[in-house]
Amino acid sequence: MNPPSVRSTPNIDRLANEGVRLTQHLSAASVCTPSRAAFLTGRYPIRSGMASRFNLNRELTWLGASGGLPANETTFATLLQHRGYRTGLIGKWHQGLSCASRGDHCYHPLNHGFDYFYGLPFGLISDCQTSKTPELHRWLRIKLWISTVVLSLVPLLLLIPKFARWFAVPWKVILTFALLAFLFFISWYSSYGFTRRWNCILMRNDDIIQQPMREERVASLLLKEALAFIDRYKRSPFLLFVSFLHVHTPLITKEKFVGHSKYGLYGDNVEEMDWMVGKILETLDQERLANHTLVYFTSDNGGRLEVQEGEVKLGGFNGIYKGGKGMGGWEGGIRVPGIFRWPTVLEAGKVIDEPTSLMDIYPTLSYIGGGILPQDRVIDGRNLMPLLEGRVSHSEHEFLFHYCGVYLHTARWHQKDCATVWKVHYVTPKFSPDGADACYGSGICSCSGDVTYHDPPLLFDISRDPSEARPLNPDNEALFDSVVKKIEAAIKEHRRTLTPVPQQFSVFNTLWKPWLQPCCGTFPFCGCDKEDDVLSTAR
């Protein structure tokens, strides 16, 4: 999520001042799982099956589900691993875990090019804190509770005529309805009733360290592991992907940062993340690695506007940009920070306004590491080094396509012969209530169904109107028809490059499966805290 513009982030500010800032840096999706899949592989998530056709499950929602980043997808970690780099992931993964059995870990980071993993195989949701309102499928859960109560009333109501001697109701009928109500309750409560225990776990490589995780300690443990990784491999080439849990609801923040920011708890969480960034940069300085290390800072999507307590926003701020997380094409959901720092290579303080993508990190790291890009698949990212170094002045991206799940909502055209960036919206979400800036009624916007289709499409000149406040039309823009035709031709060409792949977000793949559920102990009695055992031993 995008942090608000504050001056209390000295370390991120330092990164920006000492590096190159990309002001039109774009994620390939406006929610975590598909965005991260594109980031890791350099490919639109629809190419790997990591895009959903359903509004309910647009991200992976269970660790015990069978979907994830396919084994035949090659991540940038794999490319660098093959070039002799030691690779590590500290933090959030959210790309799936197992395929067919609890321990196969086919989607695990260790099977996607990382030598070391410490963190959350899932991610951070409000369900991870017992004091917070459940977040996962909240409205579905309410409906399930109501259905359970209704079903439970049936056998009770059948007792009335029996005991009132109005008419005979066989006990067999009453007990059958009671059993049906009980089985219905168990069928959904066995997953949703234990979300924190099933999803909120901490792992080191293939081993579960905490189940459920102790959320108040996780940030400190992740930072400790990140610094230890640098210390272990400081004398050899290494890739360290630090995937912060910040700044994501439920905004778990150390006590010393609470109340520190004038932007409330969200600002406190941003400042804690900035402090963690500072500790990593400090370690690079102390080990004299800064001049030889490329540091990249970004986010996987924009802030989620719908998350708030009263009038206080907890989901983030997207500044002048319209929309937010979960909205397929609006700028607020996909325009993210982009900072590259490499003191001996890149010019400090440089600002680039060209359209760039998180998918670009894949070919960029391949180029830096001396790797060879796979030739058997389409790579949508572009090597950024010529642009970052100033050897070229324009991004290689002429067109970028913005999906919401599997549905193409928006496309962007960066004219090669000028600085104009056109953006066309074919589909936009319906904000609720009317006149709002987000989907407060449902909690997150839909990709299909409750959306608005535009024919002719909405057209914006993003280079002059980044807030997408002034839609163009044939009456006020002479190039309207030619721009729309150009983009439609590019979309047709793009769609020709898509091939059918297994859908990782199919109904079956997204269901919670007890036999795939990671468990520390004997299922279903799962639970442990091995980090606490280590601390006790140390004492």
Catalytic residues, by residue number, are 32, 94
DSSP state of 165: T
CA distance 404 to 422: 19
Helix residue ranges per DSSP H, 164-214: 171-192, 195-199
Q: Give bridge partners of residue 338 from the DSSP assignment.
A: 298
CA distance 165 to 117: 67
Count CB-CB contacts under 10 A for residue 6: 16
Q: DSSP string spanning 248-317?
A: -TT----GGGTT-STTHHHHHHHHHHHHHHHHHHHHHHHTT-GGG--EEEE-SS---TT-EETTEE-S--
The 10 Å CB-count burial string (b at 16+, else e) for 66-90 is: bbbbbeebbbbbbbbbebebbbbbb
Per the structure block, which two tokens stand in for 316?
Answer: 């983030």
Coil, strand or helix at 420: coil
Sheet of strand 207-211, all strands in order from the earlier edge strand to the far edge: 238-243, 86-92, 116-120, 202-204, 207-211, 528-529
CA distance 83 to 86: 9
CA distance 45 to 178: 45
CA distance 531 to 209: 6
Among residues 131, 115, 134, which one has the least CA distance to residue 229?
A: 115
CA distance 279 to 262: 23
Contact (Cβ atoms closer than 8 angstroms) between residue 331 and residue 370: no
Report the chain's C-alpha Rg in angstroms. 25
Q: Is 252 left (phi over 0), alpha (psi -120 to 50) or beta?
A: beta
Task: Give me the residue label for tokens 């695990």.
Answer: 108
Cα distance from N-terminal residue to C-terminal residue, the chain: 38
Coil, strand or helix at 236: coil
Q: Give bridge partners of residue 239 from the DSSP assignment.
A: 87
Q: Give bridge partners of residue 116 from the DSSP assignment.
A: 88
CA torsion through residues 302, 306, 312, 315, sign: negative
Give the containing element (helix H, strand E) for 211: strand 207-211
Coil, strand or helix at 105: coil
Go through the chain and tell me how many residues it has. 539
CA distance 208 to 437: 41
CA distance 80 to 87: 8
